[in-house]
Chains A and B, each alone.
Chain A
């Protein structure tokens, strides 16, 4: 399993207790599902991985039918508005360390500065995350991408798309912007090599029409990073 798990415990145990950031990568459709057996010391991870997989399969049909609401930019629902206002207040009172939210009057799009954690490959480097909220947030995950230039990472594509299951099929409304940020930072921190995903060029080319990462069929694979 990904070595990120060890690092997460240092960053924030409470937030991530139930949300291990399985890193995933996109695959061509029509391949059969396969994944290597995870670390046997983490049986709960295994079962939740299996569960997420079955969930992701059931969501495929809907995904193909409808385009992502994050890209169509409908107005936020009342629940979404309420919740985002509260998340914003909470962020201002208690911001996750290593992040700065650039406050704007746009509740539906947050731009967040990420500072690479000390002692990691990304120490002292600064990147920007763009978070777009769909109309029915938090029942649907926000769209999260890195703005150009995106960090060099085996699960981050050069167009800023991030390969992290909680942003797609493993989303749960109990997650918050803050917990997403911490997952992304732990994904960065656990990287041992600065390189693009193997299929970067092909994937980025496929996304040229500006499609949202939420329309990608993301795929779990066993992850060493």
Chain B
């Protein structure tokens, strides 16, 4: 065994020790073990992400960020690293950057193996952040619309006042037109506010089991689309059949429904209120 192989073996043992400490909530001891492992083999990303998780448990967000960035340098496809980095960035009010990391984690997480599946967890955090972002921007937009509407209304009123003082005799007609214009203006502004007005999410973007907007839609051979985590739970706990058609169904037959995934994303980009989680 060469010196490198010996170091790798020792580092791996340190990781196992660290995991044991972690399970017992002994985060300080776990951090020491992972740190030793990193010293021996600095190029193994999991040592960094494991240590980051310990820092996260201790609310040491600055170190979470450092370790995650290092792990991402080594492997840019680590779901957990992007997830924890996103959380750390949100903690220090870097909303846009934090959201970007969580979005990346979500995209990578959809394809992750079932053991490390954490889409639901990521979704919760991303949705919270996106909803806050929407609240801020929509408040600003609605304020702008409101002041523009008031300006338009007073312009119309002024013109009506001028018109009616110039042409006597047609006052009634002019008043009718004026009221119609004000009403039409109101409608136009309501229309403009529509995207920011919370409403129903269309049924075709919602899972028939959760009745919630899709996070990770998968389609069955029968053509029905379900939320991945929920259909997997159904196959495990209720039975190996399609909930709608009752045709036999195995987990391996589930395929990502990319079209619905994109439709959901397009809807959410336009209607941020749909990110609301209870």
Q: State which of B212, B233, B238 has its C-beta within 8 Å of the C-beta of A86.
A: B212
| B 201-216 to A, binary, CB cutoff 8 A, 1 in contact else 0 | 0000000111110000
How distant is the Cα of A58 from the Cα of B241 in the complex, in angstroms? 13
- A172 contacts which chain B residues (CB < 8 A)? 238, 241, 243-244, 246
The residue among A83, A87, A90 with the most chain B CB atoms within 10 A of its own CB is A83
Judge if B239 is at the interface, Cβ distance under 8 Å.
Answer: yes
A79-B234 in contact (CB<8A)? no
- Which residues on A are within 8 Å of B, measured CB to CB? 18, 48, 51-52, 55, 58, 79, 81-83, 85-87, 90, 136, 138-140, 171-174
Looking across the interface, which residue of chain A has its beta carbon closest to that of B222?
A18
- How many residues from B make CB contacts under 8 Å with A? 18
Shortest Cβ distance from A84 into B: residue: B211
In contact, B238 and A82 (Cβ under 8 angstroms): no
B211 near A87 with CB under 8 A, answer yes
Please state if B212 and A55 are interface contacts (CB–CB under 8 Å). no
**B248 cross-chain contacts in A, Cβ below 8 A:** 51
**B residues near A85, Cβ cutoff 8 Å:** 278
Decide if A139 touches B238 in the complex (CB within 8 Å): yes
Question: Which residues on the A side are within 8 Å of B252 (C-beta)?
Answer: none
Does B239 lie within 8 Å of A82, measured CB to CB?
Answer: no
Residue B245 interfacial (CB < 8 Å): yes
CB-defined A-B contacts under 8 Å, sample of 6: A18-B246, A82-B211, A86-B212, A140-B237, A140-B238, A172-B238
Secondary structure type dominating chain A contacts: helix
Assembly CA distance A51 to B246 (angstroms): 8
Given the known inter-chain contacts A79-B230, A139-B234, please indicate yes or no for A173 contacting B243, CB distance below 8 A: yes
- From A18, A51, A79, A138, B244 is in contact (CB under 8 Å) with A18
- CB of A57 to closest CB in B, whole Å: 11
Report Cα–Cα, A82/B123, bound state, in Å: 15
Knowing A139-B234, A173-B234, say if A82 contacts B210 (CB, 8 Å): yes
Say what secondary structure dominates the interface of chain B.
loop
Q: Identify A83's interface contact among B211, B237, B243, B246, CB under 8 A.
A: B211
Q: Closest A-chain residue to B201, C-beta based?
A: A86
Residues of A within 8 A of B209 (CB): 83, 138, 173-174
Which residues 168-215 of B have a CB within 8 angstroms of A? 208-212
A86–B207 CA distance with the chains assembled, in angstroms: 12
> Across the interface, do A82 and B243 meet the contact criterion of CB distance under 8 Å?
no
Bound-complex Cα distance A52 to B247 (A): 11
Residues of A within 8 A of B208 (CB): 174
Report chain A residues within 8 Å CB of B246: 18, 48, 51-52, 172
How distant is the Cα of A172 from the Cα of B209 in the complex, in angstroms? 9
Q: Mark B130-167, 1 if CB is under 8 A from A, else 0.
A: 00000000000000000000000000000000000000
CB-CB under 8 A from B241, the residues of chain A are 51, 55, 172
Q: How far is the CA of A212 from the CA of B217 in the complex (A)?
A: 35
Q: Give the docked Cα–Cα distance between A3 and B127 (Å).
A: 49
CB-defined contacts of B243 to chain A, threshold 8 Å: 172-174
Task: Tell me, rounded to whole Å, the shortest Cβ–Cβ distance linking A169 to chain B.
Answer: 9
Separation of A206 and B206 alpha carbons in the complex (Å):
43
- Bound together, the chains give a CA A171 to CA B239 distance in angstroms of 10
Closest CB in chain A relative to B222 CB, distance in Å? 10
Interfacial chain B residues near A90, Cβ < 8 Å: 211
* Least CB distance, A76 to chain B, in whole angstroms: 12
